[in-house]
Amino acid sequence: MGWVANTLSEPISLRLFLDTGLRSVTLNDFLPPTIKTAVFGLIIGVIACFQGMRATGGTEGVGRAATNSVVLSSLFIILADVLLVRLILMFFP
């Protein structure tokens, strides 16, 4: 999309656009977001599985467990985001 927008304003080849854009990209640009995504997925998966296994009371209990897992996941993701940002800033300045 960026190439299309740039080409509409001033014509540039796709190869030049990619070469210019990828010239300064390093592994440090991809690693922190990938770590955060994996941790967030792990948090959601573990909490959802735990709440699902504890569900009792039929379909009503499943609804309550789903609601509880969404609320707990949201809280834990906010907490993990704060901690991960601090750690990432420490290790990837």
CA–CA separation, 49 and 43 (whole Å)? 10
**Does any domain span residue 40?**
yes
**Does any domain span residue 21?**
no
**Does any domain span residue 70?**
yes
Retrieve residue 66's tokens. Answer: 């789903």
Confidence check: pLDDT of 87 > 90 = yes
Tokens 């834990």 identify what position? 76
Retrieve residue 30's tokens. Answer: 């991809």
**Does any domain span residue 83?**
yes
**Does any domain span residue 53?**
yes
Tokens 């592994």 identify what position? 27
C-alpha neighbours within 13 Å on the C-beta side of residue 78? 5
**Does any domain span residue 7?**
no
pTM over 0.75: yes
pLDDT single digits (tens) 5-62: 999 999 999 999 999 989 989 988 999 999 999 999 999 999 999 999 999 999 999 9
Retrieve residue 33's tokens. Answer: 């977001």
Range of the domain at 41: 26-91
Number of domains forming the structure of the chain = 1
**Does any domain span residue 14?**
no
**Does any domain span residue 42?**
yes
CB 72 within 8 A of CB 12: no
